[in-house]
A and B are shown apart, each in its own frame.
Chain A
Amino acid sequence: MSGLLAFLSDYTIQNVALGAAILGVISGVLGCFAVLRQQSLLGDTLSHAALPGICLGFIFAGTRELSAILAGALLTGILAALFMLALSRRTRLKTDAALGISLSVFFAIGIVLLTYIQGTGNAAQGGLDTFLFGQAAAILRSDIYVMGTITLIGLGLVLAFWKEFKLVTFDPGFAGSLGMPVTVVETALTLLIALAVVVGLQMVGVVLMAAMVIAPAAAARQWVRSLEAMVILSALMGIIAGVSGALVSALATGLATGPLVVLAASALVLVSIFLAPERGLLWSGLRRWRAERHLRGRQVLATMYELAAAHDNPAYPAEQSMLDAYHGLGTGKVLHRLQGRGLVRRTTHMPQEGIHWELTEDGRHEARRSLAALGKDES
């Protein structure tokens, strides 16, 4: 217990937890817009493209000065986004290729710059490597201030332009018809995602930052219906993933922070996809199993109804083996379930042997209702 207290009051640990929480909030909030606008992989491109900026910032400042480094990362991230847009709008290359080109070429330039810095033998260059996979323990209190300021700016912008962001995310066409400058808003959202990526670089690293943009938002999406709730929950998920991953990394020395944070966030996604009420796979699997049983019942009921109609006999006795042959499967179970619902009943149909079934009044009603519902929007 006292060990835990000592651990929590440790200065480095406090820094790490605080940094991780900040990272979780901003990537969680802005990730929602990326995921909903189907630009999840833009985060991947932006984060890989931050590498040359990190190096440029370092070269410019001559030391591992976080604000310079992050400014550089933001700059090259934006350049990469613009390059991507130019390729996808002005050529016949598809978006995925444009993203991939931007990602890999900017990253390659980053590698070139990184080796250039290493070649200059600058003593401070050792710290740059941590930007690849993230190193929580390397975070300083001054870094927290920089990250916090960027996050506050980002969140402030989201609050100020909430209405615009929301509408452009859901329905850019409609937003345009209202006279909203859709391109400007979209560009602003892209810039903000670049901002979120930049905040996470030191913690998670360029290679895995994309997952931090996607995972909390994808997890939050499963539980809620409104954008407001999604953003808040996503921020919360981001904090949980960030703090737990970063703390484990700080405890177990030698484990890179980025992978741990990403695994924590991905675990949240997995749990959400399976267990979230309504959307959870577990529940929808159950629903589908029931629906499939129901569909089979509907098919058998429809067949019996049509047989009855074709014979002008509402109580036409249908032979079970014939229903089996017609549906190509054993209908015994289905018929018994229908019987349980009071829709069919067994009859004896002398002189022919074999099990026969006829529709009850309820069964005829249900069959008619079910047939009429087809082709309309069923819910």
Chain B
Amino acid sequence: MLMSPSSRRRRQGYAAAARPAAARLHEPRLAAHVEDLTVSYHDKPVLFDIDLNVPPGVMCAIVGPNGAGKSTLIKAILGLVKPTSGHITLHGLPYRQVRARVGYVPQRSTVDWDFPTTVHDVVTMGLYGQIGWFKRPGRREREKASEALKMVGMQDFARRQISQLSGGQQQRVFLARALVQEADVYFLDEPMAGVDATTERAIVKILGALRDAGKTVIVVHHDLQTVRSYFDWLVLLNVRVIAQGPVDDIYTADNLRATYGGQIALLEHGDFTRPAPAPGPGPAPGPGFDAQKEDAGPPQAAEAR
């Protein structure tokens, strides 16, 4: 693409802060791209000026203290809460256009497990979007659901009423429901909360397999201990994005303190001396991000900072 000298100067001048609006709306190379997202409840910001860039093919944890807005971030991306401002694209397109490519696992506690239905039926629900309005699931859908149940090791429970499941089993069923969606991007809200160790291992294994198949997995996670062993990409969130990038770069004592201590890493260590490799939040991901745009290297190699 040719660029006029003036627009090139523009780009260089503003690249670190903001790209031209037209460019900002399309980030097809990113599995999830959020810009300038603010969500407020009454007069209190729940998410403030969020910029998020998750490349495809990573297993990404969103981590932060209670009330950091982790679930709200996912809900905003999926259009379930209305933001005050912000642009959101998944694989370069607004959510409404890529619904079929997105899988979602809400928090287990948000549904009524006394609902009169079976395990197999709940998994089939994952296919309702593909089936579309008015049509009923057929044999193909039922077989898909059975396969997904097998993948999470719940095939023997297919005919069970869902209220008879343990917490871990409920979570596996929810995971199976997301698996049948055969999505490209998965969002999971606290899938490891309150499940037994076996289930947690099983979930991590399945999510890892998805990632290895080139899918993007974005998980709201609550356990700092396991972040490094489970995930390869990390977003530290506390109303703002404190830091984001490959987990090994981001998982630093400073960043964690900044996230959980309520402190902002930004410019703490000496105003206006750019914190060289240490990531800080910014309205745009910075030069490293542009490098990723320019060269077509593997996404994991490129840093979002």
- A-side residues, CB < 8 A to B, are 92, 284, 287-288, 291-292, 294-295, 298-299, 302-303, 306-314, 318, 322, 325-329, 368, 371-372, 374-376, 378
The complex places the Cα of A294 from the Cα of B271 at a distance, in Å, of 25
Is there a chain A Cβ closer than 8 Å to B288's Cβ?
Answer: no
Chain A residue at minimum C-beta to C-beta distance from B64: A375
Chain A residue at minimum C-beta to C-beta distance from B40: A295
- B38 adjacent to A374 (CB under 8 Å): no
User: With A288-B42, A299-B85, A309-B272 as given contacts, are A375 and B240 in contact (CB-CB < 8 Å)?
Assistant: yes
- Minimum CB–CB distance from B198 to chain A (whole Å) comes to 28
The complex places the Cα of A55 from the Cα of B273 at a distance, in Å, of 84
Besides A299-B48, A312-B272, 11 other A-B contacts (C-beta < 8 A): A284-B42, A291-B43, A292-B84, A294-B43, A295-B38, A295-B84, A299-B49, A302-B48, A326-B283, A327-B85, A372-B264
Which chain B residues border A306 with CB–CB below 8 Å? 17, 266, 281-283
- A310 adjacent to B263 (CB under 8 Å): no
Which chain A residues border B84 with CB–CB below 8 Å? 292, 295
Interface size class of B (residues with CB under 8 A): 35 or more
- B18 adjacent to A326 (CB under 8 Å): yes
- B-side residues, CB < 8 A to A, are 14, 16-18, 20-21, 36, 38, 40, 42-45, 48-49, 65, 68, 84-85, 87, 114, 163, 238-240, 262-264, 266-267, 271-274, 280-283, 286
The complex places the Cα of A302 from the Cα of B45 at a distance, in Å, of 14
- A374 adjacent to B85 (CB under 8 Å): no
Which chain A residues border B85 with CB–CB below 8 Å? 299, 327-329
Which chain A residues border B282 with CB–CB below 8 Å? 306, 309-310
- A302 adjacent to B38 (CB under 8 Å): no
- Minimum CB–CB distance from A112 to chain B (whole Å) comes to 31
B43's partner among A295, A322, A374 (CB-CB below 8 A) is: A295
Per DSSP, chain B at the interface is loop
A328's partner among B16, B48, B87 (CB-CB below 8 A) is: B87
User: With A322-B18, A325-B18 as given contacts, are A307 and B264 in contact (CB-CB < 8 Å)?
Assistant: no
The complex places the Cα of A368 from the Cα of B16 at a distance, in Å, of 20
The complex places the Cα of A284 from the Cα of B42 at a distance, in Å, of 9
A375's partner among B36, B239, B266, B273 (CB-CB below 8 A) is: B239
User: With A295-B84, A327-B36 as given contacts, are A310 and B239 in contact (CB-CB < 8 Å)?
Assistant: no
**Interface contact tally, CB-CB below 8 A:** 99
Which chain A residues border B264 with CB–CB below 8 Å? 371-372, 374-375
- Minimum CB–CB distance from A7 to chain B (whole Å) comes to 48
- A375 adjacent to B262 (CB under 8 Å): yes
What are 7 sample pairs from A and B whose C-beta atoms fall under 8 A apart? A302-B48, A307-B17, A310-B16, A310-B282, A312-B272, A328-B36, A329-B85
- A375 adjacent to B43 (CB under 8 Å): no
- A310 adjacent to B286 (CB under 8 Å): yes
The complex places the Cα of A371 from the Cα of B48 at a distance, in Å, of 9
Which chain B residues border A294 with CB–CB below 8 Å? 43
The complex places the Cα of A299 from the Cα of B38 at a distance, in Å, of 9
The complex places the Cα of A313 from the Cα of B264 at a distance, in Å, of 20
Which chain B residues border A92 with CB–CB below 8 Å? 114, 163
- For B16, B84, B272, which residue has the most chain A Cβ atoms within 10 angstroms? B272
- Minimum CB–CB distance from B18 to chain A (whole Å) comes to 4
The complex places the Cα of A328 from the Cα of B36 at a distance, in Å, of 9
- Minimum CB–CB distance from A295 to chain B (whole Å) comes to 6
Give me the 9 closest cross-chain CB pairs, A-B, nearest first: A291-B43, A375-B238, A374-B239, A375-B239, A376-B262, A326-B18, A325-B21, A310-B16, A92-B114
Which chain A residues border B18 with CB–CB below 8 Å? 322, 325-326
Chain B residue at minimum C-beta to C-beta distance from A311: B16
The complex places the Cα of A102 from the Cα of B267 at a distance, in Å, of 63
B272's partner among A284, A308, A329 (CB-CB below 8 A) is: A308
The complex places the Cα of A322 from the Cα of B284 at a distance, in Å, of 13
- B20 adjacent to A325 (CB under 8 Å): yes
A378's partner among B16, B20, B44, B281 (CB-CB below 8 A) is: B44
- For A288, A303, A308, A329, which residue has the most chain B Cβ atoms within 10 angstroms? A303
User: With A309-B272, A313-B272 as given contacts, are A374 and B286 in contact (CB-CB < 8 Å)?
Assistant: no
- A287 adjacent to B274 (CB under 8 Å): no
The complex places the Cα of A191 from the Cα of B295 at a distance, in Å, of 75
- A288 adjacent to B43 (CB under 8 Å): yes
The complex places the Cα of A329 from the Cα of B86 at a distance, in Å, of 11
Which chain B residues border A376 with CB–CB below 8 Å? 262
The complex places the Cα of A378 from the Cα of B48 at a distance, in Å, of 13
- Minimum CB–CB distance from A174 to chain B (whole Å) comes to 21
Which chain A residues border B65 with CB–CB below 8 Å? 375
- Minimum CB–CB distance from A56 to chain B (whole Å) comes to 36
Which chain B residues border A375 with CB–CB below 8 Å? 65, 68, 238-240, 262, 264
- Minimum CB–CB distance from A300 to chain B (whole Å) comes to 10
Chain B residue at minimum C-beta to C-beta distance from A291: B43
- Minimum CB–CB distance from A316 to chain B (whole Å) comes to 9
Chain B residue at minimum C-beta to C-beta distance from A325: B21
- Minimum CB–CB distance from A257 to chain B (whole Å) comes to 40
- Minimum CB–CB distance from A13 to chain B (whole Å) comes to 47
- Minimum CB–CB distance from A320 to chain B (whole Å) comes to 13
- B36 adjacent to A326 (CB under 8 Å): yes
The complex places the Cα of A372 from the Cα of B48 at a distance, in Å, of 12
- Minimum CB–CB distance from B165 to chain A (whole Å) comes to 14
Chain A residue at minimum C-beta to C-beta distance from B274: A312
- Minimum CB–CB distance from A376 to chain B (whole Å) comes to 4
Chain A residue at minimum C-beta to C-beta distance from B281: A306
- Minimum CB–CB distance from A379 to chain B (whole Å) comes to 9
Which chain B residues border A314 with CB–CB below 8 Å? 271-272
Which chain B residues border A374 with CB–CB below 8 Å? 45, 48, 238-240, 264
B49's partner among A291, A303, A308, A322 (CB-CB below 8 A) is: A303
The complex places the Cα of A303 from the Cα of B48 at a distance, in Å, of 11
Chain A residue at minimum C-beta to C-beta distance from B20: A325
Chain A residue at minimum C-beta to C-beta distance from B9: A352
- Minimum CB–CB distance from B8 to chain A (whole Å) comes to 14
The complex places the Cα of A327 from the Cα of B40 at a distance, in Å, of 16
The complex places the Cα of A307 from the Cα of B16 at a distance, in Å, of 8
